[in-house]
Amino acid sequence: MNFIGYAPSARIYTVADKDEAWLVQVVHGRNYVAVRCPDDQITIMPNLYTVYELDAFPAEDVIASPDLVENAKRKGFWD
């Protein structure tokens, strides 16, 4: 058997240290989005996609792959 990548459509991670936390969602392939949790808030991240609107976050709190939106449009996930 050959295993390349992973079977589910994505992986979801939390990356944190004592100063900040980032919610990282990696879509099957090479696309990703990371959103920083604001200092005065907490987050609960279930095992499903939670980032639906990138413009809902300050630009400095979002890191995304350059072709994330184009890929989502191609796959029919974005209008």
Cα atoms in the 13 Å half-sphere on the side-chain side of 72: 18
Q: What is the pLDDT of residue 63?
A: 94
Q: What is the pLDDT of residue 55?
A: 79
The fraction of the chain above a pLDDT of 90, given in percent, is 28
* Residue pLDDT, tens place only, 22-72: 999 888 778 899 999 988 888 888 877 788 787 778 899 999 999 888 888
Please report which confidence band the pLDDT of residue 20 belongs to, taking 50, 70 and 90 as the band edges: very high
Q: What is the pLDDT of residue 8?
A: 64
CA distance 8 to 18: 31
Evaluate the CA torsion angle 57, 20, 11, 50 in order and state its sign: negative
Asked if 1 and 36 touch (Cβ cutoff 8 Å), the reply is no
